[in-house]
Amino acid sequence: MRIFLTNLGKYNEGELLGQWLKLPCSDSQLKATLKAIGIGEEYEETFITDYENDYGFEINEYDSLTLLNEIAEGISDLTDNEKKLLCAVLEREYHSLYQMQGILDSLGEYHLCPNVTDHEELGNYYIHELEHHDLDKMGELANYLDYEAYGRDIDFNSSGGFTSHGWLERR
C-alpha cells in the first residue's frame, strides 16, 4: 500500500509538494517524508492526493496516517491466502477504512472457496466437499443430480455470495 502525502499549505499556495510513502512505515520513515515535503514549523498539515492498494478499499484525503499505518501493518502480517480472503470480503461487503481493523480481526469468520465461480461448481462443492455424500450408495440416481439447481438453492438460502475470488461465506 502506498499513499502520496502532500503539504496542504503549499498546495493552497499553488504548489504541489508531496512524496510517495510506502505503508507500513516506521516513525523515522514518516518523519523523513514529512520533512521532505516541508512539514515543520511553517507548514503543519498534510493530505493524501493519491493512493495505491491491492485490496479494493478507498483511502480519503484526510484519513488518519496512524490508522492507515496500523491497517497496512495488519495486512502485511497476513498469509497470501488470508490476503485473497480479505480481497473477497472487501469486494462482497463494502467497508470504510475505519472498519478495516475489525475486518482484519474477523477474517477467521469467513470461508473462501477460490475455485467456485458459478452455481454448478457451488452445488458440486457442497455435495462432494462439505456434505461428503456417498454417491456410490445412490447408484444410478447420482447421475440425475442437478448441481446447478442445488447451487442456486445454496446461494439463495445462504449469506454467502460470489466474488471475483470465488464463493465467500461467513460462518
Q: What CATH code is carried by the domain that includes residue 19?
A: 3.10.20.480
Query: Which three three-digit cell numbers place residue 71?
Result: 491497517
Read off the pLDDT of residues 78-124 as tens digits, 9 standing for 90 and up.
999 999 999 999 998 866 788 888 899 999 999 999 989 999 999 98
- Counting beta carbons within 10 angstroms of the beta carbon of residue 37, is it exposed (0 to 12), middle (13 to 18) or buried (19 or more)? buried
Half-sphere exposure of 15 (CA within 13 A, CB side): 9
27, pLDDT greater than 90: yes
CA-to-CA separations, 45 to 1, 3, 48, 124, in angstroms, rounded? 21, 15, 11, 55
Domain end position, chosen among 77, 109, 136: 77
d(CA 152, CA 154): 5
Domain that holds residue 130: 79-171
11 and 34 co-located in one domain: yes
164, pLDDT greater than 90: yes
43 and 12 co-located in one domain: yes
d(CA 40, CA 6): 13
94 and 121 co-located in one domain: yes
136 and 146 co-located in one domain: yes
